[in-house]
Each structure stands twice: as structure tokens, then as C-alpha cells.
Structure 1
Amino acid sequence: MLAPYRRLFARPGTAAFTLAGLLGRLSMSMTGVSLVVLLAERRGSYALAGTVGAVGLITGAIGMPLIGRLVDRFGQARVTVPAVLYNVLPLSALLLCVRTGAPDWTLHVCWAAGAAAPNLGGMARARWAHLLREEPDELHLANSLEQVLDELCFMTGPVLGMVLCTAVAPEAGLLTAGGLGAAGALLFAAQRRTEPPLADHPLPGRPTAGRHGPPLRVPGLRVLTLAFLSTGMVFGALDLTTVAYADALGHRPVAGGLLALVAAGSCVAGLVFGTLRPSGPAGARFLRGVAAMAGLLLLPLAAGLGGAGLALLGAALFAAGTGTAPTMVTGMTLLQELLPRRRLNEGMAIAVSGILVGISAGSALAGAVAEHAGPGAGYWIPAGAAALALLIALAGRRHLAVPAEDPERPVGAAR
């Protein structure tokens, strides 16, 4: 099953930027839990940790597309290096404020100021899209690989952050995450031979609307961003509801293993999905993926409401996880087909920001349900959010079709 993926790395420089990007993304998956443990230990408040994290998530969702716009205009390396060096300052200031007992508002300001993190996952996909622009089947394989790497980071990052914060020092998680993130991003930026060239400006006489304007003027991006926002709600609600459910049964330590099963299901599905030859337009495949995700999320809902126990819930979560990777892989492929090359990084960052906002909203809704309803009732939220994503995709399906004739064909569009 892994043999097709080895073909990708036969191309010079691909292994280097993939490993560097993986290092940077691992650090991002460590920061959430590391921040919570740090503030809970040093300030004794989970509520403070939640509000500081939420502020950072909101500013990150705003800042990521702005960084993406700069990347499209000036190139990956020219933007990534100063952004990484800048982000050292607010992280250092946060740790200093925590250490010196500064007022709580300073923590919010410091964490909000660190919103200039470059989207390494999006930039890696942009490199694959450039390298494989004439090979849609190989691009499908590369997007599947990137999704699997994302899932691996979200499986291992929180565990690594928790171990460092509890076994070494409360600050160790964020310090390590900052170091790994800076090293990974700088190494990624150093891989210049695989960096996509800056797209040409529009030719004289061509209209500047649509493909040459802001990415959100592309209707398909608006549809996908809303669908991704609903998918983010699935992720956020599923995580928090699972922790609350395990806690209600007196087995809170098992929650980490249950969440790992969701990511494991997604990893397996992503690896298998990448080896399958895509059939039909990406828009139609995306609709099928969202429909499958919505159907599979009924399994943990049934297990939670039926009191099936942790073993059956774990099996249901693993099965539900298999629906997420194919949906995300196809969604990212569709983005690469719909977006013009000169707006690819900004457009992908907008979509990822939608996921981040959705995660925050899903967590908040699931937390409210966990406080006022039975332990399994929270699984209505991810099931409902997946159904909403399906309705959005169905309503906007005509915008998910790539024009057959396009004078400036976008990166990755099928021939």
C-alpha cells in the first residue's frame, strides 16, 4: 500500500520539504494542550486557558489568510522567514508574563499577537500542486499523504506536549513547540528548488474580476469554506464530547485513546484513499465524501445515546474517522482546481481558517451540551454539523464544477 507513496519522493527535494513541514506542523499540534497545562499549573485556571486559547484561535483565523496573501505576492521563503522570527517575540513574552505573574490581559495580548504563523500545510500542498500540475492522479496521492501527515501530527503532538509539560516543566511544552516550529519552518523555507514560482500578473486586457480578484470572489471557495467550517465543528465537538463521555463514565484517562482511534481511522482511510484512482469530477467526489462522513458520524451518536460502552464507542469512533480523510483530501484537491495559481496560498488559508473557526464553535457548543444534557447527547453536534456540511455542498454543488474551458487554467485542474 505504501509503494505508490514512495513514487512521490523520487522527485528531487520532495522528501526535504515534506519532513521540514511535518516538523513545523507537529509543533502546531502541541501548542493547544501545552498552553492549557501551563496556565492551569501556573495560574490555576482552566477558564483562563480557554479564553487565551480562543483569542489566539480567532486572531490566527484572521492572520492566516493575510499571511497567505503575502506568500502569493512575495513567495514562500520571503514571507516565512520573517514571520517565524517575529513569532518568537510573542511566545517569549507570554512565557515571561506567566513567569512574572503579569495581569491576565497581558497573556491574551501576547497569544493574540502570535497570529502570524505561516500555514505550512497549505504551502506544502501548493508545492505538490506546482510539481504535479500535469499529473492529477499523483496530485491526489500527494494530497492524501498530506492529510495523513496532518492526522499523525494531531495524534502525537498533544501526547508529546502533555508529557513534556508534566514530566519536565509546565513551560517545556510551549518551549519545545516554539523550537520545533521555528526549525521546521526555516528548513522548509530553505528548500528553494521546490518552491512554486510567483504567478504571473494578469495579461493586459483580461478582466480582473473572478479569478484575478480576491479568492473569496470564487464562488466555489465560499462553498468549500462554509463546508469546512461545518467540518471543523465536527472535529471540535467530537473531541470535547468524547472527553466528557469518558469522564462521565469514570474513565477520563481513556479519552485520549478514544480520540486517537478517530485519528487512526482517518489515517488508514487516507492511505487507502490515496492509492485509489480518482473517478469523476472532484466536485462530485467531494459530495460523496461529505455524505459518507455524515452517515458514519451516526455510529458514535448511536453508541453514545444507547450506552453501548467504551469498547463499542471506540469502534464507532474509528469507523467515523474513516470518513474525514477522504472528504478533506478531495476538498483540498478541489480547492487547487478552483483557485487561480496566483491566489492559491491565500485561498487555502481561508479554507483552513474556516476549519479553525468551526473547531472553536463546535467545542463551545459541545461544552454547553455536556454541562446540561446526558453524556451521549453531545454526539448530536458532530452528526448535525456533518449533515449541515452536506446540505451546504448540495446547495452550492454547481459552483464546485471546474469550467471546461479556462484561459488561465488553475493549478491541479484535471485535463
Structure 2
Amino acid sequence: MLASYRQLFARPGALAFTCYGLIGRLSFSMLGVSLLTAIVQRRHSYALAGAVSAAGLVGVAVGLPLLGRLVDRYGQRRVSIPAALCSAVPRTALPFLLHGGAPDWTLFAAATTASVAPNLGGMSRARWAHLYGAEPALLHRANALEQALDELCYLAGPVLGVLLCTTLFPEAGLLAISGLATAGGLLFAAQRRTEPPVAPAPDRGTSAPLRAPGVPALVVAFFGTGLVFGSLEITTVAWTGAHGQRWATGLLLGLLAAGSGVSGLVFGLRPESADPVRRLLLSLAAMSALLLLPLTAAACGTGPGVLALVLFTTGTGTAPTMVSGMTLLQRMLPAAALNEGMALVVSGIVTGISAGSALGGLLVQHAPGARGFGLPAAAAVLALLTALLGTRRLRISVAAVGNAS
């Protein structure tokens, strides 16, 4: 397996941009838990912590597509360097505002503006598409690697954030995030050997991702996937609390991410499909079926040991879905719209996570027990149905880009 993935780094500069991008993405995975922990410890309000965190997600959902459009027009380096520096100001100010007892509205403002930062995950995938766009098997493997790295971040990030906030001082995690995000963004942008050239677009209509057939359906499908992530996380937290096993929360969520990471690496070794739409539909169907497992296990009254095994197995369905969706998007959009398209998909996921957390919280509050695990399963079915309804337009978009190239 290692030899297969080592082949990706034969191109000069590939390892460098991957490592620097990983540093910046680690900071994003630390943000949620670090922000919640710091605000709860300083302001003693879960409501304020949740609201500020939601404001940050709004900044991500709105800002990423705008930055993605600028990247497509002017290039990664010219946009991401000033964006990284500008977002570093409110990101660094946030822990000092919190520590100094600044008014609550300043926390909202800082969290929202700090979230308008470069989309390193999307730009990494755009670089892989530039390097291996003519070699579908290697591009598929690169997307699988990116998904595994995402899961690695979401395994290590929350643990590191909690460790810093609880062993040093409440704002330590936020300060570390500021340093990692800024350094990772600037070092990533400095890797010019692998930066995709700016592709000319004849007019706005041909380069607008949302005007491409099938892209809106794909964004909605990823919104459904985000619903799965957000609702499954808060349902698991509620389940451990209701059963007096809160100590197991981190372990259960970590195993969920581990299952996804392992399956992503294995999935990347499979041959690339000649029909990316079909592969996405099969991945969504598998994810929907696997999400019935935690619902069944919780309904049967199993303990944390069995649920841990179930969640690891359930997690194996998420990475193939993400990899298939990203690979499909790369084949649906021209190079002149790829960064904005990636940002739109990430915004859909982030918005879905936020909505899933809110809906999941309401459900477990008013319907405790195993029924909370029904929401992630329903969200996966929603994503599958959306993709099914958009199948024809997805195929049209892939064919159009293939004919143009």
C-alpha cells in the first residue's frame, strides 16, 4: 500500500505542498473543540460557545466560494497569501478578546472573519488534478490520500485542542490554531512548482460551477453527507451521556474517523471507474446501508464496546463517498472553475454539519434513546436520492468537460 501511494510523490514539490497543507488543515480540525472549551471555561456559557462556533461556520460557508472564485481567476498564490494574512488578524485577536473579557459581539465578529481563510483541502485537490489529470488512476489515489489525511486531522485535532486548553490555559488551543493556520497557509502558497496555472475562461457563464449541469445536485448531496457527520457526532455524544459512559465519547468518534481513513486508503488502491457517477451512487448506497448499523445496535441496547466496533464499520462508508464525489467534481468542471467548485462542495458539507448538529440536538433532546441514530441514516438516504435525481445531469456535465478536453 505504501509503495502505491509513494508513487504520487514522484513529482517534484508534491510532498511539500501535501505536508504544508496538512499543517493548515490540522488547525481547522482543532477549531471547534478549542473554541467551545475556551468559551465555556472563560464565559461559563454553552449557549454562547455554540453560537460563536455557528458564526464561524457561517463565515466558512460564505467566504470559501468567494475565495475559490478569486483563486480560479488570479491563482492560488496571489489570493491565498493575502487571505491567510488577513484572516490571521481576527484569528489571533480572538483568544485575547476572550481572555480580556471583551463584549460577546466581538467574539462573533472575530470568529466569522477569521473563518474566511484559504481552502487548503480544495487547493490541494486542485493541485493533484493539475499533476495527474491525465492519469485517472493516480488522481483517484490522490483523492483517497487527501480524504485519509482529512480523517487523520479529525482524529488528532480535537485531542490536541483539548490537551492544550486543559493543560496550559483555556486560550492555548486558539493561539496554536492561529500559528498553524497562518504558517500552513503561507508555506503552502509558497510551493510554486505544483501550483496550477490560471486557466482562461471565455465568459462567466461557462466557468460558474453552479451553472454546470449536475453541480447543484452534487452540492446538495454533499450537504446531506454533512448532515450525516453533524447528526452522528452529537447523537453519539448524547448516547454516551445518557448511558453514563461519557468517557467513551472520544474513543467512539475516533474509531468512526479511523474506519473512514482506513477505507479511504484501501479504496484508493481500487481501479478508477470509467463511470464516476455510478461509483458515487454505489458509495452513497453503501453509506446509507452502513448507517443502519448504529441505529440497530443502539436499539438493541448494546454497550460501548459493541457500538465502538459498529461505528468503526460505519465509518468505512464515508471515505469512498467523499473520494467518489471529489473525483466526479474534478471531471465535471473545467480548470477555470475547479477551486470555486471545491469551495462550494466544502461549504455544502460545513452547512450540513451545522444543520445536522442542530437537528440532532433537538432530536436527542426530545426523543432520547436509539432514535437519534435514525437521523444520520435518513440524511444519507437524502444524499442518495438527490444524486439519483441528478444522475442524468451529472453525466451530461462529465461528458461536456470530456469532449471539451
Q: Give the Cα separation in 1 of the matches to 2:59 and 2:88.
A: 16
Q: Give the Cα separation in 2 of the matches to 1:308 and 1:280.
A: 41
Name the CA shift for 1:132/1:101 in 2 (closer, same or farther; >3 Å): same
Residue 327 of structure 2 corresponds to: 333
Alignment of 1:106-185 (within 5 A): 106-185=106-185
Secondary structure of 2:33's aligned partner: helix
Deviation at 1:10, TM superposition (A): 1.3
Residue 382 of structure 1 corresponds to: 376
Residue 403 of structure 1 corresponds to: 399
Q: Give the Cα separation in 1 of the matches to 2:97 and 2:234.
A: 29
Once the two structures are superposed, residues 256-284 of structure 1 have per-residue CA deviations (whole angstroms, 9 ceiling, x without a partner) of 00001111110110010001102331001
Identify which range, 399-408 or 339-348, moves more after superposition: 399-408
Name the structure with the higher helix share: 2
Identify which range, 119-128 or 91-100, moves more after superposition: 91-100
Aligned AA for 1:72? D
Is the counterpart of residue 279 in structure 1 residue 273 in structure 2? yes
Name the CA shift for 1:405/1:20 in 2 (closer, same or farther; >3 Å): closer
Residue 70 of structure 2 corresponds to: 70
Q: Give the Cα separation in 2 of the matches to 1:93 and 1:27.
A: 16
Aligned AA for 2:87? N
User: 2:25–2:181: 8 Å Cα contact kept in structure 1?
Assistant: yes
How many pairs align? Answer: 403
Deviation at 1:404, TM superposition (A): 6.2
- TM-score under structure 1 normalisation? 0.95
Aligned AA for 2:378? G
Residue 261 of structure 1 corresponds to: 255
Q: Give the Cα separation in 2 of the matches to 1:249 and 1:316.
A: 17
Aligned AA for 2:256? V
Deviation at 1:60, TM superposition (A): 1.2
% same residue: 58
Among residues 224, 239, 243, which one is paired with 2:218 in the alignment?
A: 224
Among residues 307, 311, 316, which one is paired with 1:313 in the alignment?
A: 307
Secondary structure of 1:193's aligned partner: coil
Alignment of 1:239-254 (within 5 A): 239-254=233-248
Once the two structures are superposed, residues 301-335 of structure 1 have per-residue CA deviations (whole angstroms, 9 ceiling, x without a partner) of 10112211111111111111000000100100000
Secondary structure of 1:334's aligned partner: helix
Among residues 228, 231, 235, which one is paired with 1:234 in the alignment?
A: 228
Residue 200 of structure 1 corresponds to: 200
Secondary structure of 1:403's aligned partner: helix
Deviation at 1:375, TM superposition (A): 2.6
Consecutive aligned runs of 4 or more in structure 1 exceeding 3 Å deviation: 404-407
Secondary structure of 1:117's aligned partner: coil
Is the counterpart of residue 90 in structure 1 residue 90 in structure 2? yes
Aligned AA for 2:399? P
Aligned AA for 1:178? S
Alignment RMSD: 1.2
Q: Give the Cα separation in 2 of the matches to 1:97 and 1:183.
A: 22
Once the two structures are superposed, residues 57-99 of structure 1 have per-residue CA deviations (whole angstroms, 9 ceiling, x without a partner) of 0121000000101111111111111111111211233222212
Secondary structure of 2:10's aligned partner: coil
User: 2:332–2:401: 8 Å Cα contact kept in structure 1?
Assistant: no
User: 2:276–2:328: 8 Å Cα contact kept in structure 1?
Assistant: yes
